[in-house]
Amino acid sequence: MGGTSLAVPCWLPAWPATRPAARRRPRAGPASPRLAWMTMRLTVIGCAGSFPGPDSPASCYLVEAEGFRLLLDLGNGALGALQRHAGLFEIDAICLSHLHGDHCLDMASYWVARTYSPDGPKPRIPVYGPAGTAGRLAGAQGSSLAREMPPAFSFETLTPGTRRIGPFEITADHVNHPVETFAFRLEHGGRALAYSADTGESAALVRLARGADLLLCEASFVEVPAGPGAGRAQPNPPDLHLTGRQAGQHAARAEVGELVLTHLVAWNDQAGVLAEAAGTFSGRLSLAASGRIFNLGGPGEDIQPTR
Ligand SMILES: [Zn+2]
């Protein structure tokens, strides 16, 4: 699998050494129900592409196993919806795929919450992101945060390769987007979840997703003619995002078990995006939605209806 043979930086002590010794029950948000030991649970917190939509925040996904809670991205609006599925202070680590605002801006709000909690600052948690993550987030909230953020977050710079974060083996690799962007493969209990982040067509994504149980793949663009009198003014720019058709092609090439389309932009016809993907991928297929839950390796696989 692409990227897995690269060096394995030891960024964290092995789980559960990084787990805080005493974890108080948060006052905000419910705790998640107990999971079977081998289950990896994906909860879609936000799946709106580029900006929050009427029914979903921007990108954010909660992945849980063995009581460990990892966020993939924390885009604008996601911190509120997150509290429906996890306690505000129950997050153990965060991976940011890239530094576009719709994938990271609620980190600034989360810093406020963790720092100014009425019962005192919360323990530092690791945040993995591209080079420059701390400065980018400080700029989003106010320049003084470059100094003040480190007590809340331990920033670790992502590089391609495989590392262990909590109970997960996580492989990151660069994908095809105008800024440095990482797609992820998370493995736990013999199951694999792949997340495209934002990308144009990408051989690295196909390698990363190879044989995954579930590929959470962006489908920001639609295949419509461009030009005067056509469906859109300009053709889809290259090396930026995928159409539903292209997402399906990536899933088919990677031979994944299930494809969930995400990063859905509010002005698109989502039924059309789904239909595009159905033309190139014959497996289990659906659209992401805020609040959808997928249990990989446990009972109650995908509790929501799919096509
Ligand atoms: Zn982006």
Residues 77-95: pLDDT tens digits? 999 999 999 999 999 999 9
CA of 178 to the centre of ligand 1 (A): 8
CA of 177 to the centre of ligand 1 (A): 7
CA of 105 to the centre of ligand 1 (A): 12
Return the higher-pLDDT residue of 218 and 303. Answer: 218
What backbone torsions phi and psi does residue 233 show, to the nearest 5 degrees? -75, -40
Rounded mean pLDDT, 239-265: 97
Q: How confident is the model at residue 23 (pLDDT cuts 50, 70, 90)?
A: very low
The yes or no reply on domain 36-225+235-290 and CATH 3.40.190.10 is no
Q: How confident is the model at residue 144 (pLDDT cuts 50, 70, 90)?
A: low
Q: Is the pLDDT of residue 233 over 60?
A: yes
What backbone torsions phi and psi does residue 283 show, to the nearest 5 degrees? -85, -170
The pocket of ion ligand 1, defined by CB under 5 A, consists of 100, 198
DSSP3 helix / strand / coil % (the chain, rounded to 5): 20, 25, 55
Q: How far apart are CA 261 and CA 258, in angstroms?
A: 10
Q: How far apart are CA 151 and CA 138, in angstroms?
A: 13
Q: Is the pLDDT of residue 160 over 70?
A: yes
Q: Tell me, what's the pLDDT at 143?
A: 58
Q: Is the pLDDT of residue 300 over 60?
A: no
pTM of the entire predicted model: 0.86
Please name which of 171, 224, 233, 222 lies closest in space to residue 197, comparing C-alpha atoms: 171
Q: How confident is the model at residue 226 (pLDDT cuts 50, 70, 90)?
A: confident
CA of 44 to the centre of ligand 1 (A): 18
Q: Tell me, what's the pLDDT at 95?
A: 98
CA of 77 to the centre of ligand 1 (A): 16
Q: How far apart are CA 64 and CA 23, in angstroms?
A: 16
Q: Tell me, what's the pLDDT at 148?
A: 66
Q: Tell me, what's the pLDDT at 142?
A: 75
Q: How far apart are CA 258 and CA 260, in angstroms?
A: 7
Domain assignments of the chain as residue spans, ordered by start? 36-225+235-290
Q: How confident is the model at residue 3 (pLDDT cuts 50, 70, 90)?
A: very low
CA of 93 to the centre of ligand 1 (A): 21
CA of 84 to the centre of ligand 1 (A): 25
CA of 189 to the centre of ligand 1 (A): 30
Q: How far apart are CA 115 and CA 127, in angstroms?
A: 15
Q: How far apart are CA 19 and CA 40, in angstroms?
A: 18
Strands 258-262, 214-218: pairing is: parallel
